[in-house]
Amino acid sequence: MTDRGVYVSALELFSLGIGPSSSHTVGPMRAGAMFRDRLAAAGDLPRVTRFVVRLQGSLAATGIGHGSPDAVIAGLRGLQPETVDPDLVHGEWDRLDAGETIDVDGVSMNKDDIVFAPFSRHDGHPNSLVLTAEADGETLLSETYLSIGGGFIERVGDPETGADAGAGEDPATPQLRHRYASIAELMEVVGDRRIADIAWEDEIALHGEEKAQAGLDLIWSEMRSCIERGLEGQGVLPGRLGVKRRAAEGLRKLRERDGCDTAEEALALYALAVNEENAAGRRVVTAPTNGAAGVLPAVLYFATVQGGFDPEAIRTFLLTATAIGSVFKANASISGAEAGCQAEVGSACAMAAAGITAIRGGSVAQIENAAEIALEHHLGLTCDPVGGLVQIPCIERNAVAASTALTACRLALLGDGTHVVPLDTTIETMRQTGADMSERYKETSTGGLAVNVVEC
């Protein structure tokens, strides 16, 4: 077995942010904040007289609908997606587009300071941005950042870091307890234990038990709050499509019919609630992305609501999903701009299927089987948001995927875990399919529904 570890902490994979996109909103905000911090560390921040933001690839193609300019500006102001008030982020690009100027800590920015370059990429990466700070025409700092999915960013020129870093690291750096690079290796490590047990030991190794538990509690608290806020949301979502929020009205009708909200239709409404919040630019948990943020919370809420949200079940679900999702991120992608929506909603569906199978008593083989079923039936799924907005088909797609995760769990639990296609094979197939997929279907809004739906 390889000595490489791919586990990504649940506290990072399920990070707090704001909508509508982890790659296009959360990632660029973090890039802007990191750029600002580097200027401050060098003592150059007070000297800046101009910021220039160049959005490339998918960040440019769908950046306005995804809030990318607003997000970078917020980051340059030192705001962080985990803590920012969403109302402080949105609307800045509208002001710039209308010919106004805005103040970024004493630096005046205008529309020309935001450059959209949809046909430019950094070494082929679909989501890159170049940030430049000038002082009276002199370049103080210019850096390129990659938004790699799920809110994660990389600064071009930095050495590779992460869970798969090998021997030779600083011994003071927290180290993973378990090393695996595939689902098959994960199952070998687990043996007769539970996937959640293995993941929990890695969380403790990375953060300590107290911080790890508090982090998981916060993740669930934010997921639950997002669902419950979304189930009260009314009105029309931002953007020119005029999409009406439906979760609250759907729940009202369901309660009138059944007298409760535990019927299976509620599962779809929970997912709609989250993704309507995301589309409105409110606070959500990336799971593992914003575009797919409704699937896992909806399945977990549905699976545990009748039992009063059992803490052990919630922890088991989140940790199992994290271990599976870590392999997806390492061996394929969780980014729609890299591999289409199969990488976002497909990954989320598989993670949710694994989580619910675990809390329903499934064996390790049945968990792997459920995740494989869920992913297999998302292969080839395109990412073609209408109008560059994370609304159509994104919101309903989360509801459908939540139902698919539940179906995958049921099918897996009816068997003994034996099946023909290993999950590792399906993950590799997803990677290959994403590489073969036309760029028109990878979050550029230049193909599929994005060009065939007439916007009124």
pTM of the model: 0.92
CA separation (Å) from 243 to 33, 44, 387? 32, 44, 12
pLDDT score recorded for residue 173: 63
355, containing H or E segment: helix 347-359
Closest CA to 247 of 404, 396, 66: 396
* CB half-sphere exposure, 344, CA atoms < 13 A: 32
Distance, CA of 245 to CA of 413 (rounded, Å): 35
Determine how many CB atoms are found less than 10 A away from the CB of residue 170. Answer: 7
Q: Are 241 and 340 in contact (CB under 8 A)?
A: no
Residue type present at position 448: G
Q: Are 16 and 285 in contact (CB under 8 A)?
A: yes
pLDDT along the chain (456 residues), means of 10: 77 95 94 97 97 96 93 97 93 96 96 96 91 97 95 90 40 81 98 98 98 98 97 95 96 85 86 98 96 98 91 98 98 95 98 98 98 98 94 98 98 97 98 96 93 76
Burial of 220-249, coded b for 16+ CB within 10 Å and e otherwise, reads bebbbebbebbbebeeebbbebebebbbbe
Q: Which residue has 């550029």 as its token pair?
A: 444
- Strands 114-117 and 50-57 turn out to be parallel
Instruction: Give the pLDDT of residue 160.
Output: 65
Report the alpha-carbon distance of residue 410 to residue 407 in Å, rounded: 5
Angle at 15 between CA 66 and CA 429, to 5 degrees: 75
Selection from 38, 117, 98, 107 nearest residue 73 by Cα: 107
Q: Is 413 helix (H, G, I), strand (E, B) or coil?
A: helix
Q: What is the 3 state secondary structure string of 56-110? A: EEHHHHCHHHHCHHHHHHHHHCCCCCCCCCHHHCCCHHHHHHCCCCEEECCEEEC
- Asked if 279 and 237 touch (Cβ cutoff 8 Å), the reply is yes
With beta carbons less than 8 A apart as the criterion, state whether 24 and 129 touch: no
Asked if 320 contacts 358 with a C-beta cutoff of 8 angstroms, the reply is: yes
Q: Is 441 within 8 Å of 340 (Cβ atoms)?
A: yes
- CA gap 293, 271 in Å, rounded: 8
